[in-house]
Structure 1
Amino acid sequence: MGSRNCENRRPEDVLREAIAGGITLFQFREKGDCALEGTAKLELGRRLFTICREHGIPFIVNDDVELMLALDADGLHIGQEDGSARAMRNRIGDKILGISAHDLYEARAALADGADYLGVGPMYETQTKPDIREVRGPDVIREIRGAGIACPIVGIGGITHGKAAPVIAAGANGIAVISAISQAIHPKEAAKKLMQEVRSR
Protein backbone atom coordinates (compact mmCIF):
# COMPACT_ATOMS: atom_id res chain seq x y z
CA MET A 1 0.00 0.00 0.00
CA GLY A 2 0.85 3.66 -0.16
CA SER A 3 -0.51 6.83 1.37
CA ARG A 4 -3.44 7.13 -1.05
CA ASN A 5 -4.78 3.69 -0.09
CA CYS A 6 -5.48 4.58 3.52
CA GLU A 7 -8.45 6.97 3.26
CA ASN A 8 -8.07 9.41 6.18
CA ARG A 9 -5.80 7.22 8.28
CA ARG A 10 -2.05 7.44 8.72
CA PRO A 11 -0.27 4.75 6.69
CA GLU A 12 1.92 4.05 9.70
CA ASP A 13 -1.11 3.19 11.82
CA VAL A 14 -2.62 0.96 9.14
CA LEU A 15 0.69 -0.87 8.73
CA ARG A 16 1.06 -1.46 12.46
CA GLU A 17 -2.45 -2.91 12.62
CA ALA A 18 -1.81 -5.11 9.59
CA ILE A 19 1.36 -6.45 11.18
CA ALA A 20 -0.54 -7.16 14.39
CA GLY A 21 -3.06 -9.03 12.26
CA GLY A 22 -0.40 -11.33 10.84
CA ILE A 23 0.91 -10.02 7.51
CA THR A 24 4.23 -11.60 6.58
CA LEU A 25 5.60 -9.11 4.05
CA PHE A 26 4.93 -5.48 3.11
CA GLN A 27 5.21 -3.80 -0.30
CA PHE A 28 5.43 -0.01 -0.42
CA ARG A 29 3.37 1.02 -3.46
CA GLU A 30 3.18 4.81 -3.67
CA LYS A 31 1.46 5.30 -7.04
CA GLY A 32 -1.55 6.96 -8.65
CA ASP A 33 -3.26 10.33 -8.39
CA CYS A 34 -2.01 12.48 -5.51
CA ALA A 35 0.78 10.03 -4.67
CA LEU A 36 3.74 11.44 -2.79
CA GLU A 37 6.90 12.21 -4.70
CA GLY A 38 10.50 13.14 -4.00
CA THR A 39 11.47 13.80 -0.40
CA ALA A 40 7.94 13.19 0.92
CA LYS A 41 7.86 9.74 -0.67
CA LEU A 42 11.31 8.92 0.66
CA GLU A 43 10.41 10.02 4.17
CA LEU A 44 7.19 7.98 4.24
CA GLY A 45 9.06 4.99 2.88
CA ARG A 46 11.66 5.36 5.60
CA ARG A 47 9.02 5.52 8.35
CA LEU A 48 7.20 2.44 7.05
CA PHE A 49 10.49 0.58 6.55
CA THR A 50 11.43 1.31 10.18
CA ILE A 51 8.14 -0.16 11.39
CA CYS A 52 8.69 -3.30 9.30
CA ARG A 53 12.26 -3.65 10.53
CA GLU A 54 11.11 -3.40 14.15
CA HIS A 55 8.76 -6.35 13.59
CA GLY A 56 10.95 -8.48 11.32
CA ILE A 57 8.71 -7.95 8.27
CA PRO A 58 10.45 -7.89 4.86
CA PHE A 59 9.97 -4.55 3.07
CA ILE A 60 9.64 -4.53 -0.72
CA VAL A 61 9.48 -1.38 -2.87
CA ASN A 62 7.17 -1.38 -5.89
CA ASP A 63 8.74 -0.26 -9.20
CA ASP A 64 11.09 2.42 -7.80
CA VAL A 65 14.59 0.97 -7.81
CA GLU A 66 16.19 4.29 -6.80
CA LEU A 67 14.00 4.43 -3.69
CA MET A 68 14.69 0.80 -2.91
CA LEU A 69 18.43 1.43 -3.04
CA ALA A 70 18.15 4.66 -1.05
CA LEU A 71 16.30 2.85 1.73
CA ASP A 72 18.44 -0.28 1.45
CA ALA A 73 15.11 -2.12 1.45
CA ASP A 74 14.83 -5.88 1.33
CA GLY A 75 13.76 -6.03 -2.28
CA LEU A 76 12.03 -4.68 -5.37
CA HIS A 77 8.89 -5.66 -7.23
CA ILE A 78 8.45 -4.74 -10.89
CA GLY A 79 5.78 -5.23 -13.52
CA GLN A 80 6.06 -6.18 -17.16
CA GLU A 81 6.22 -2.52 -18.21
CA ASP A 82 8.85 -1.41 -15.70
CA GLY A 83 12.01 -1.95 -17.69
CA SER A 84 14.46 -4.80 -18.03
CA ALA A 85 14.14 -7.34 -15.24
CA ARG A 86 17.68 -8.52 -15.90
CA ALA A 87 19.00 -4.98 -15.54
CA MET A 88 17.09 -4.59 -12.27
CA ARG A 89 18.59 -7.83 -10.98
CA ASN A 90 22.05 -6.51 -11.78
CA ARG A 91 21.34 -3.26 -9.93
CA ILE A 92 19.92 -4.75 -6.73
CA GLY A 93 22.34 -7.64 -6.39
CA ASP A 94 21.13 -10.41 -4.09
CA LYS A 95 18.13 -8.47 -2.75
CA ILE A 96 14.66 -9.96 -3.33
CA LEU A 97 13.28 -9.44 -6.84
CA GLY A 98 9.61 -10.01 -7.52
CA ILE A 99 8.15 -9.80 -11.01
CA SER A 100 4.51 -9.67 -12.08
CA ALA A 101 3.44 -12.32 -14.58
CA HIS A 102 0.13 -12.78 -16.34
CA ASP A 103 0.74 -16.09 -18.10
CA LEU A 104 3.15 -18.99 -18.43
CA TYR A 105 5.34 -17.23 -21.00
CA GLU A 106 5.90 -14.22 -18.75
CA ALA A 107 6.49 -16.46 -15.76
CA ARG A 108 9.26 -18.35 -17.54
CA ALA A 109 10.85 -15.11 -18.78
CA ALA A 110 10.75 -13.60 -15.29
CA LEU A 111 12.53 -16.57 -13.78
CA ALA A 112 15.12 -16.53 -16.54
CA ASP A 113 15.79 -12.88 -15.69
CA GLY A 114 16.36 -13.62 -12.02
CA ALA A 115 12.99 -13.35 -10.26
CA ASP A 116 12.85 -14.78 -6.74
CA TYR A 117 9.05 -14.88 -6.75
CA LEU A 118 6.15 -14.21 -9.11
CA GLY A 119 3.16 -11.98 -8.53
CA VAL A 120 0.52 -13.64 -10.69
CA GLY A 121 -2.79 -12.09 -11.66
CA PRO A 122 -5.11 -10.44 -11.79
CA MET A 123 -7.09 -13.01 -9.87
CA TYR A 124 -10.27 -10.90 -9.84
CA GLU A 125 -11.51 -7.49 -10.92
CA THR A 126 -9.87 -4.68 -8.96
CA GLN A 127 -10.32 -0.93 -8.61
CA THR A 128 -6.83 -0.36 -7.21
CA LYS A 129 -5.10 -0.77 -10.55
CA PRO A 130 -7.30 0.43 -13.44
CA ASP A 131 -4.95 -0.72 -16.22
CA ILE A 132 -4.99 -4.41 -15.37
CA ARG A 133 -4.69 -7.21 -17.88
CA GLU A 134 -7.41 -9.74 -18.64
CA VAL A 135 -8.73 -11.43 -15.52
CA ARG A 136 -7.98 -15.15 -15.76
CA GLY A 137 -8.45 -16.00 -12.13
CA PRO A 138 -6.71 -18.79 -10.20
CA ASP A 139 -6.55 -20.93 -13.35
CA VAL A 140 -3.45 -19.08 -14.52
CA ILE A 141 -1.62 -20.14 -11.34
CA ARG A 142 -2.76 -23.70 -11.92
CA GLU A 143 -1.35 -23.51 -15.46
CA ILE A 144 2.01 -22.20 -14.26
CA ARG A 145 2.29 -24.90 -11.60
CA GLY A 146 1.26 -27.52 -14.13
CA ALA A 147 4.23 -26.53 -16.27
CA GLY A 148 6.58 -27.45 -13.42
CA ILE A 149 7.39 -23.98 -12.09
CA ALA A 150 8.07 -24.35 -8.38
CA CYS A 151 9.15 -20.85 -7.28
CA PRO A 152 7.07 -18.88 -4.75
CA ILE A 153 3.89 -17.48 -6.31
CA VAL A 154 1.75 -14.72 -4.85
CA GLY A 155 -1.77 -14.22 -6.18
CA ILE A 156 -2.58 -10.57 -6.87
CA GLY A 157 -5.55 -8.49 -7.94
CA GLY A 158 -8.99 -8.03 -6.38
CA ILE A 159 -8.53 -10.53 -3.55
CA THR A 160 -10.95 -9.86 -0.70
CA HIS A 161 -12.44 -11.93 2.13
CA GLY A 162 -13.83 -15.16 0.77
CA LYS A 163 -11.62 -15.13 -2.33
CA ALA A 164 -8.24 -16.11 -0.90
CA ALA A 165 -8.76 -19.86 -0.50
CA PRO A 166 -9.26 -20.61 -4.23
CA VAL A 167 -6.01 -18.79 -5.02
CA ILE A 168 -4.07 -20.89 -2.53
CA ALA A 169 -5.82 -24.05 -3.73
CA ALA A 170 -4.64 -23.30 -7.27
CA GLY A 171 -1.02 -23.40 -6.11
CA ALA A 172 -0.16 -19.95 -4.76
CA ASN A 173 2.02 -19.65 -1.67
CA GLY A 174 0.34 -16.45 -0.58
CA ILE A 175 -1.82 -13.50 -1.55
CA ALA A 176 -1.19 -9.77 -1.97
CA VAL A 177 -3.93 -7.32 -1.05
CA ILE A 178 -4.31 -3.58 -0.62
CA SER A 179 -7.83 -2.31 0.01
CA ALA A 180 -9.01 -5.51 1.74
CA ILE A 181 -6.80 -4.42 4.65
CA SER A 182 -5.99 -0.73 4.15
CA GLN A 183 -9.61 0.36 3.78
CA ALA A 184 -11.06 -1.98 6.38
CA ILE A 185 -12.57 -0.41 9.48
CA HIS A 186 -10.31 -2.66 11.54
CA PRO A 187 -7.18 -3.53 9.50
CA LYS A 188 -5.90 -5.90 12.19
CA GLU A 189 -9.04 -8.02 12.07
CA ALA A 190 -9.12 -7.90 8.26
CA ALA A 191 -5.57 -9.23 8.11
CA LYS A 192 -6.41 -11.98 10.62
CA LYS A 193 -9.37 -13.17 8.56
CA LEU A 194 -7.35 -13.27 5.36
CA MET A 195 -4.59 -15.21 7.09
CA GLN A 196 -7.15 -17.72 8.33
CA GLU A 197 -8.38 -18.22 4.76
CA VAL A 198 -4.85 -18.72 3.49
CA ARG A 199 -3.98 -21.22 6.20
CA SER A 200 -7.22 -23.14 5.80
CA ARG A 201 -5.96 -24.65 2.55
Structure 2
Amino acid sequence: MASLGPNALARMIDIATVTSYEARDLLFRDGEAAEYFYCVLSGYVRLYRLNKDGREADIRICGPGDTFAECLLSVGDTYYYNSQAAENATVARFELQKVRTIAEQEKDVAKAIIQCLSNYLRSTMDCIANDRLQTAPQRVAQYLLDNCPRDSASASIRLPFQKSLLAGKLGLAPEALSRAFSALRRAGVTVRGRIIQISDISALKQI
Protein backbone atom coordinates (compact mmCIF):
# COMPACT_ATOMS: atom_id res chain seq x y z
CA MET A 1 0.00 0.00 0.00
CA ALA A 2 2.89 2.37 0.79
CA SER A 3 4.08 2.30 -2.83
CA LEU A 4 0.70 3.10 -4.37
CA GLY A 5 -0.15 6.41 -6.02
CA PRO A 6 -3.05 8.47 -4.65
CA ASN A 7 -5.70 7.10 -7.03
CA ALA A 8 -4.68 3.46 -6.65
CA LEU A 9 -4.43 3.84 -2.87
CA ALA A 10 -7.89 5.39 -2.64
CA ARG A 11 -9.40 2.55 -4.68
CA MET A 12 -7.76 -0.11 -2.50
CA ILE A 13 -8.86 1.56 0.74
CA ASP A 14 -12.38 1.85 -0.64
CA ILE A 15 -12.73 -1.93 -1.05
CA ALA A 16 -11.07 -2.86 2.27
CA THR A 17 -13.21 -4.37 5.00
CA VAL A 18 -11.85 -4.28 8.56
CA THR A 19 -12.84 -7.25 10.71
CA SER A 20 -11.90 -8.29 14.24
CA TYR A 21 -11.52 -11.87 15.49
CA GLU A 22 -11.16 -13.35 18.94
CA ALA A 23 -8.40 -15.79 19.83
CA ARG A 24 -8.84 -19.17 18.08
CA ASP A 25 -11.49 -17.89 15.65
CA LEU A 26 -11.07 -19.35 12.17
CA LEU A 27 -10.81 -16.92 9.28
CA PHE A 28 -11.04 -19.66 6.68
CA ARG A 29 -10.41 -23.38 6.20
CA ASP A 30 -8.23 -25.31 3.79
CA GLY A 31 -10.24 -26.08 0.64
CA GLU A 32 -12.89 -23.40 1.09
CA ALA A 33 -13.72 -21.14 -1.84
CA ALA A 34 -11.37 -18.16 -1.74
CA GLU A 35 -12.97 -14.72 -1.65
CA TYR A 36 -10.40 -12.49 0.05
CA PHE A 37 -6.77 -11.90 0.81
CA TYR A 38 -5.85 -10.35 4.14
CA CYS A 39 -3.56 -7.88 5.89
CA VAL A 40 -3.03 -8.09 9.65
CA LEU A 41 -3.57 -4.74 11.38
CA SER A 42 -3.10 -5.92 14.97
CA GLY A 43 -2.55 -9.20 16.76
CA TYR A 44 -1.31 -12.41 15.15
CA VAL A 45 -2.81 -14.89 12.71
CA ARG A 46 -1.65 -18.47 12.41
CA LEU A 47 -1.56 -20.28 9.07
CA TYR A 48 -1.42 -24.06 9.30
CA ARG A 49 -2.31 -27.36 7.68
CA LEU A 50 -3.79 -30.58 9.04
CA ASN A 51 -2.98 -34.13 7.96
CA LYS A 52 -5.50 -36.96 7.84
CA ASP A 53 -4.72 -37.85 11.47
CA GLY A 54 -5.44 -34.33 12.67
CA ARG A 55 -1.83 -33.34 13.29
CA GLU A 56 -1.13 -29.66 12.75
CA ALA A 57 1.84 -28.07 10.99
CA ASP A 58 2.36 -24.31 11.22
CA ILE A 59 3.18 -22.64 7.92
CA ARG A 60 3.52 -19.05 9.03
CA ILE A 61 2.74 -16.69 11.91
CA CYS A 62 1.51 -13.37 10.49
CA GLY A 63 1.86 -10.18 12.53
CA PRO A 64 0.94 -6.53 11.99
CA GLY A 65 1.68 -5.48 8.41
CA ASP A 66 1.85 -9.03 7.05
CA THR A 67 -0.42 -10.14 4.22
CA PHE A 68 -1.58 -13.65 3.41
CA ALA A 69 -3.57 -15.47 0.71
CA GLU A 70 -2.36 -12.85 -1.80
CA CYS A 71 -1.01 -15.67 -4.01
CA LEU A 72 -4.64 -16.36 -4.97
CA LEU A 73 -4.72 -13.10 -6.89
CA SER A 74 -2.91 -14.85 -9.73
CA VAL A 75 -3.88 -18.51 -9.46
CA GLY A 76 -6.28 -20.72 -7.55
CA ASP A 77 -9.84 -20.41 -6.34
CA THR A 78 -9.62 -22.22 -2.98
CA TYR A 79 -7.56 -21.61 0.15
CA TYR A 80 -4.50 -23.83 0.56
CA TYR A 81 -4.35 -23.83 4.37
CA ASN A 82 -6.30 -22.97 7.50
CA SER A 83 -6.15 -19.51 9.04
CA GLN A 84 -6.80 -18.88 12.73
CA ALA A 85 -6.51 -15.88 15.01
CA ALA A 86 -3.69 -16.79 17.39
CA GLU A 87 -4.92 -14.08 19.76
CA ASN A 88 -7.37 -11.21 19.39
CA ALA A 89 -6.65 -9.84 15.93
CA THR A 90 -7.89 -7.18 13.55
CA VAL A 91 -7.42 -7.64 9.81
CA ALA A 92 -8.23 -5.80 6.61
CA ARG A 93 -9.59 -8.06 3.92
CA PHE A 94 -9.72 -7.36 0.20
CA GLU A 95 -12.06 -9.09 -2.24
CA LEU A 96 -9.87 -10.97 -4.71
CA GLN A 97 -11.92 -10.28 -7.82
CA LYS A 98 -12.12 -6.56 -7.13
CA VAL A 99 -8.36 -6.37 -6.59
CA ARG A 100 -7.77 -8.24 -9.87
CA THR A 101 -9.91 -5.68 -11.66
CA ILE A 102 -8.08 -2.75 -10.07
CA ALA A 103 -4.70 -4.33 -10.87
CA GLU A 104 -5.64 -4.49 -14.56
CA GLN A 105 -6.35 -0.76 -14.51
CA GLU A 106 -3.73 0.52 -12.05
CA LYS A 107 -0.09 -0.35 -12.75
CA ASP A 108 0.86 0.64 -9.19
CA VAL A 109 -1.34 -2.12 -7.79
CA ALA A 110 0.00 -4.74 -10.18
CA LYS A 111 3.60 -3.82 -9.29
CA ALA A 112 2.81 -3.89 -5.57
CA ILE A 113 1.32 -7.38 -5.88
CA ILE A 114 4.41 -8.63 -7.73
CA GLN A 115 6.68 -7.10 -5.08
CA CYS A 116 4.64 -8.63 -2.27
CA LEU A 117 4.76 -12.10 -3.84
CA SER A 118 8.49 -11.77 -4.50
CA ASN A 119 9.17 -10.80 -0.89
CA TYR A 120 7.12 -13.73 0.37
CA LEU A 121 8.97 -16.14 -1.96
CA ARG A 122 12.34 -14.91 -0.67
CA SER A 123 11.27 -15.23 2.96
CA THR A 124 9.97 -18.73 2.28
CA MET A 125 13.27 -19.73 0.69
CA ASP A 126 15.13 -18.33 3.71
CA CYS A 127 12.86 -20.33 6.01
CA ILE A 128 13.51 -23.56 4.10
CA ALA A 129 17.27 -22.92 4.12
CA ASN A 130 17.27 -22.22 7.87
CA ASP A 131 15.30 -25.41 8.54
CA ARG A 132 17.96 -27.42 6.72
CA LEU A 133 21.09 -25.58 7.76
CA GLN A 134 20.44 -24.54 11.37
CA THR A 135 19.91 -26.59 14.49
CA ALA A 136 17.00 -25.77 16.78
CA PRO A 137 19.19 -23.75 19.21
CA GLN A 138 20.65 -21.83 16.25
CA ARG A 139 17.17 -20.94 14.96
CA VAL A 140 16.15 -19.67 18.40
CA ALA A 141 19.43 -17.80 18.82
CA GLN A 142 18.99 -16.12 15.45
CA TYR A 143 15.45 -15.02 16.35
CA LEU A 144 16.69 -13.52 19.62
CA LEU A 145 19.60 -11.76 17.91
CA ASP A 146 17.26 -10.31 15.27
CA ASN A 147 15.23 -8.76 18.09
CA CYS A 148 18.10 -7.49 20.25
CA PRO A 149 19.05 -3.80 20.25
CA ARG A 150 22.08 -3.13 18.10
CA ASP A 151 25.46 -2.64 19.78
CA SER A 152 24.22 -3.92 23.14
CA ALA A 153 26.19 -6.30 25.34
CA SER A 154 23.03 -7.67 26.97
CA ALA A 155 19.31 -7.42 26.41
CA SER A 156 15.86 -8.21 27.75
CA ILE A 157 13.23 -9.23 25.20
CA ARG A 158 9.51 -9.72 25.70
CA LEU A 159 8.02 -12.18 23.24
CA PRO A 160 5.05 -10.59 21.44
CA PHE A 161 3.17 -13.91 21.54
CA GLN A 162 3.07 -17.21 23.40
CA LYS A 163 6.05 -19.56 23.15
CA SER A 164 3.86 -22.08 21.30
CA LEU A 165 3.55 -19.54 18.48
CA LEU A 166 7.28 -18.93 18.49
CA ALA A 167 7.77 -22.68 18.09
CA GLY A 168 5.48 -22.66 15.05
CA LYS A 169 7.17 -19.61 13.60
CA LEU A 170 10.58 -21.32 13.84
CA GLY A 171 9.32 -24.66 12.56
CA LEU A 172 9.81 -26.43 15.89
CA ALA A 173 7.64 -28.60 18.08
CA PRO A 174 6.98 -26.98 21.50
CA GLU A 175 9.17 -29.56 23.24
CA ALA A 176 12.00 -28.88 20.76
CA LEU A 177 11.74 -25.18 21.57
CA SER A 178 12.03 -25.93 25.29
CA ARG A 179 15.14 -28.05 24.68
CA ALA A 180 16.62 -25.27 22.54
CA PHE A 181 16.14 -22.71 25.30
CA SER A 182 17.75 -25.12 27.75
CA ALA A 183 20.74 -25.49 25.42
CA LEU A 184 21.07 -21.70 25.24
CA ARG A 185 21.49 -21.32 28.99
CA ARG A 186 25.24 -21.72 28.58
CA ALA A 187 25.16 -18.61 26.39
CA GLY A 188 23.45 -16.65 29.16
CA VAL A 189 19.84 -16.99 28.00
CA THR A 190 17.22 -17.11 30.78
CA VAL A 191 13.50 -17.60 30.15
CA ARG A 192 10.78 -16.39 32.52
CA GLY A 193 7.39 -16.63 30.86
CA ARG A 194 7.51 -14.32 27.85
CA ILE A 195 10.57 -12.44 29.14
CA ILE A 196 13.90 -13.57 27.67
CA GLN A 197 17.04 -12.29 29.40
CA ILE A 198 20.29 -12.38 27.40
CA SER A 199 23.30 -11.65 29.57
CA ASP A 200 25.95 -12.02 26.84
CA ILE A 201 24.95 -11.23 23.27
CA SER A 202 28.45 -11.97 21.96
CA ALA A 203 28.23 -15.52 23.40
CA LEU A 204 24.85 -15.97 21.76
CA LYS A 205 26.35 -15.05 18.40
CA GLN A 206 28.74 -18.00 18.73
CA ILE A 207 25.95 -20.59 18.86
Same-fold call, TM cutoff 0.5:
no
Report the TM-score, using the length of structure 2 for normalisation.
0.25
Q: Give the structure-1-normalised TM-score.
A: 0.25
Who wins on radius of gyration, i.e. which is larger? 2
Q: Which has the higher strand share?
A: 2
Tell which has more relative contact order, 1 or 2 (C-alpha 8 A, sep 6+). Answer: 2
